[in-house]
Amino acid sequence: MNILILGSGGRESTLAWKLAQSKKVKKVFIAPGNAGTMNYGINLNLNPNNFSEVKEAVLKNNINMVVVGPEDPLVNGIHDFFLEDDNLKAIPVIGPQREAAMLEGSKEFAKEFMKRHHIPTAKYQSFTKDNLHEAYQFLDSLTPPYVLKADGLAGGKGVLILNDLEEAKKELKEMLSHYKFGKASAKVVIEDFLNGIEMSSFVLTDGENYVILPNAKDYKRIGEGDQGLNTGGMGAVSPVPFADAEFLEKVESRIIKPTVEGLKKDNIPYVGFIFIGLIKVNNEPYVIEYNVRMGDPETEVVIPRIKSDLAELLTAVADKKLDQFKLETDERSATTVMLVSGGYPASYEREKVISGLDQVKDSILFHAGTALEDGKVISNGGRVLSVTSFGKDFKEALKRSYQSIEKIHFDQMNFRKDIGFDL
């Protein structure tokens, strides 16, 4: 079969790397991809949100399956677009339709879903500019810190956590009345602050059945000790050492099962990955958020720990035969450390020549923001390269990643030296 992966980051590089190893796969296409995805398949220069471009590429290249990396094509309805087109409807899309993608596309939708299905999450209320006064009263009734979430997609920046009540009110007004996050903050969810340690579960579902993929923990802040601005993710560890069997059993019975069953009860079809952001509070799991795709850089540790053939797994999803699939995973730990451009997540320079890539032998390099220029690999984004390694535990794996990083260089390269510090 021929598979098209939509997206261009470390996540898509990892999916391409894994799918290229499948005996079932003839050709892997990545759109638009990066300098690294060319090692596993063919890059197609198109915009995943331009569905007619996607259609043309799918028909021209005899694509048999589309795997959607990022959330925006899903929220924009790429799966629905395929189902509504006579020439495309037989081609499976891995990723939910627009309605289910609202689990990520609207915080309020996700909260209502969780409430309806008794899935543990922080208590909340949502507000628009028309009930700003009630929102202030609600804030008055809470104790700090205050958690304000833009309802819509805000590129991971739409959540504010504030200690001061007056500042929280000011920010709330900025969000609701002055569109601090554009249309995304025309509605704001205010919720209780949960104090605990975060991790993520990854589930693949065909709408009826599910398999639980390896879990992971990512490090979102730019600075060591989890300080500073939020990024897309600076590193990840899988499995999560504090997620013992008892805790994972709670996650499955209280969160994963009710999520898949809740979708069924609500008649919301779902084919694809569910990424459940969790927080462990006094040994009890709560949902912080749903994403309707894999995480980045979590994919760079989760997928390498899957021993099963990924194309077979995704075919079982498309055929709704996931109940017959026996997932095999690698017992070892995997870690990834993200190399980023100096300045990221604020402004940064691109087009820095990256050297030393061919010196790395003990890690897998997943390209993120890279491009090829005159035969040289150059930086082309904030997050540039994801350096993944295996080890008997996460410490050994991390040591390998950091040793590999010593061989890689580009001007103003930055990375966190403390991934896993809190484990």
Question: Amino acid identity of 333?
Answer: S
| Closer CB to ligand GLY, 88 or 300, in the complex | 300
Minimum Å gap between C-beta 150 and ligand AMP is 9
Q: Take residue 400 and report the two structure tokens written for it.
A: 């390998």
What is the distance between the alpha carbons of residues 203 and 256, in angstroms, rounded to a whole number?
8
Q: How many chain residues are in contact with ligand AMP, going by CB under 6 A? A: 13
Q: How many chain residues are in contact with ligand GLY, going by CB under 6 A? A: 6
Rule CB under 6 A: choose which of 108, 151, 171, 191 binds ligand AMP: 191
Interaction residues for ligand AMP, span 136-175 (CB under 6 A): 147, 149, 159, 161
| Closer CB to ligand AMP, 33 or 158, in the complex | 158
300 touching ligand GLY, by CB under 6 A = no
Rule CB under 6 A: choose which of 53, 85, 112, 198 binds ligand AMP: 198
Pick what 306 binds: ligand AMP, ligand GLY, none; C-beta below 5 to 8 Å, kind-dependent. none
Rule CB under 6 A: choose which of 218, 270, 279, 419 binds ligand GLY: 218
Pick what 380 binds: ligand GLY, ligand AMP, none; C-beta below 5 to 8 Å, kind-dependent. none
Question: Amino acid identity of 104?
Answer: E
Site string for ligand AMP, 109-138 (x = CB under 6 A): -------------x----------------
| Closer CB to ligand AMP, 194 or 365, in the complex | 194
Rule CB under 6 A: choose which of 298, 316, 348, 387 binds ligand GLY: 298
What is the distance between the alpha carbons of residues 283 and 260, in angstroms, rounded to a whole number?
23
Question: Which residues are near ligand AMP by CB under 6 A?
Answer: 122, 147, 149, 159, 161, 191-194, 198, 277, 288-289
Question: Which residues are near ligand GLY by CB under 6 A?
Answer: 218, 233, 291, 295-296, 298
